Amino acid sequence: MIDLQDFMVTLPVIEVALIALASLVAAAVWGEKAVRALGGVAIGAFLLALATMYCPVRFETFVDGTMPVLAFGSHFIDDGFARFAKTIILIASSLSVLLSWDYFEKEGHARAEYPVLILFVTLGMMLMVSASDLLSLYVGLELQSLSLYVLAAFNRDDSRSTEAGLKYFVLGSLSSGVLLYGASLIYGFAGATDFASLSALLRETSNPGVAIGMAFVGAGLVFKLAGVPFHMWAPDVYDGAPTPVTAFFATAPKLAALALLTRFVLSPMDGLSAQWHQAVMFVAVASMLWGAFAGLAQTRLKRLLAYSSIANVGYLLVGLLAGGEGGVQAILIYFAIYALNTLGIFALVLCLRREGRAVDSIDDLSGLSKTHPLAALAMAVLMFSIAGIPPLAGFFGKYVVFLAAVKTGFVPVAVIGVLSSVVAAFFYLRIVKVMYFDEPLLALDPLPGWGVRFVLGFSSVAMVALAVLPEPLIQGAVRAAESFSG
């Protein structure tokens, strides 16, 4: 049953798994001394997985560049969509490790478990985006979630961080339970767990039990995405978790959950589109509006970014609502730009330290353009980009998402979307205003190490470069979306 083919298809995942296990041992043996080395190992593992994934030898013999390939029965799928999502996830994870490079040392709790946990989360995410069975879906999701709970509480001496971890754990496990219950309903009524059989079954017959199961699974995934009305945990967890962890939360795990949701509703649940369209439309519109309006009242950067991410989940779900190749393309393009943009913003948040302590209220940015002109310029680029103002890359993300929505006839959703983006523009502008219009308060500490500065520079340059030459990204997304043709 299991042969070489299975192992070769899953090779990138296996590599990350083995390195994660070895790192765990190393962390136990060498402890704090190994923090930096293990961080390097984690980035190395991600790059290795990327290289393996696109290795030409693998394409020639084991996987197909155009057709999906299954492995281990039907649990694991390798197709263009999964590869594209994994690419973004691996890049985002690598940048997240860079963001934490000297953060925990400065905060006085450098622990070797951090890179190891990131490795495990990434492993879980890689499984999630390649899941093609309700069982592998759940295994991947839980591997990711359990590691994320620990990461949220990583500042274990800080009451806000432990509170964040606990909140996330309680609500997260509830949502996992809901998801599992939904999966059991689907299995009970349809008699299959793998996506291909489910898809065939549900195209012929529809069954209210399956629809309810789908709603539960969907709710569980929307919780992981922090979409309204399952968003309540996000501001507290974002605010309480250590900043590099928050940066990670806002990017890669969101894509994993979104990719999973996309595959789930567009492949096995395609026959039930009438049912899930309503739900996705509600979540999308509510997230866009709530994220935009609630963000207006925030005074702390990390909470503001939490609401910003809620609004962005709304835009992404508009892409899902559009569905089909166009919608999937839009989701992937939007997410790639959003993830890079967000990591850059968090890099700047990590730059804000005063007298050795991290600060994160919006007013701490006052006059940044005078004290750190280049950092302020980078941040301004990132803010205009995420607000969707051309000529920056964020505009193209919004363009493809709302184009997909108009194309499939969801014009009112697109209109609500663009109007909510004007509301959201207000709080992004406020950050530019504070940096450029206001006078500096107390002096900030010098900028931190190269890791953070690299991420900040990389992401702001990418926002300009992707605007001038979006073609490589768009081509990649177009090829990835072909997995959902027909």
Partner 1 sequence: MVSLPILSVLTFLPLIGAAVILLAGNGDEEARARFAQRTALGVSGGTLVLALALLAAFDPSVPGFQFMERFVWIPAYNISYIKGVDGISLWFVVISAVLTPVAVLAAIGSVKKRVREFMIALLVLETMMIGTFTALDLVLFYVFFEGVLIPMFLIIGVWGGEKRTYAAYKFFLYTLLGSVLMLVAVFAMALYAGTTDMTVLMGGKFPKEMALWLWIAFFASFAVKTPMWPFHTWLPYAHVEAPTAGSVILAGVLLKMGGYGFIRISLQMLPDASLVFAPLVIGFSLIAIVYASLVALAQTDMKKLVAYSSVAHMGYVTLGLFSFNRQGFDGAMMVMLSHAFVAGALFLCVGVVYDRLHTREIDRFGGLASGMPKYAAAFMVFTLAAIGLPGTSGFVGEFLSMQGAFLVSGWIAFAAALGIVLGAAYMLWLYRRLFFGPLDKADVRAMPDLNGREIAMFAPLLVLVLWMGVYPSSFINVYAPAADNVLSFFGAQAHEAQHD
Which residues are near partner 1 by CB under 8 A? 329, 369, 384, 389-391, 395, 399-400, 402-403, 406-407, 411, 414-415, 418-419, 421-422, 425-426, 429, 432-433, 436-437, 470-471, 474-475, 478
Token output for 372: 């750190």
CA torsion angle for 349, 350, 351, 357 (degrees, to 10)? 110
Nearer residue to partner 1 within complex by CB, 209 or 412: 412
Residues contacting 76, CB < 8 A, separation 6+: 6, 9, 10, 13, 70, 127, 130, 131, 132, 136
Closest CB to partner 1 among 188 and 390? 390
Nearer Cβ to partner 1 (25/422): 422
Measured from the CB atom, the residue of 403 and 465 that comes closer to partner 1 is 403
Give the span between the Cα atoms of 307 and 424, in whole angstroms. 9
Sign of CA dihedral 146, 340, 438, 375: positive
CB of 413 to partner 1, least distance (A): 11
**Pick 200 or 411: Cβ nearer partner 1:** 411
List phi, psi (to 5°) of 10: -95, 10
Find the shortest distance in angstroms from Cβ 192 to partner 1: 35
CB of 361 to partner 1, least distance (A): 18
CA-CA distance, 377 to 348, in Å (whole number)?
11
Closest distance between partner 1 and the C-beta of residue 297, in Å?
A: 16
Is the CB of 141 or the CB of 404 nearer to partner 1? 404
Closer Cβ to partner 1, 30 or 437, answer by number: 437
> For residues 462 and 469, what is the distance between their CA atoms, to the nearest angstrom?
10
Q: How far is the CB of 419 from partner 1 (least distance, A)?
A: 7
Can you give the length of the chain in residues? Answer: 486
Q: Least Å distance between CB 440 and partner 1?
A: 13
CB of 291 to partner 1, least distance (A): 16
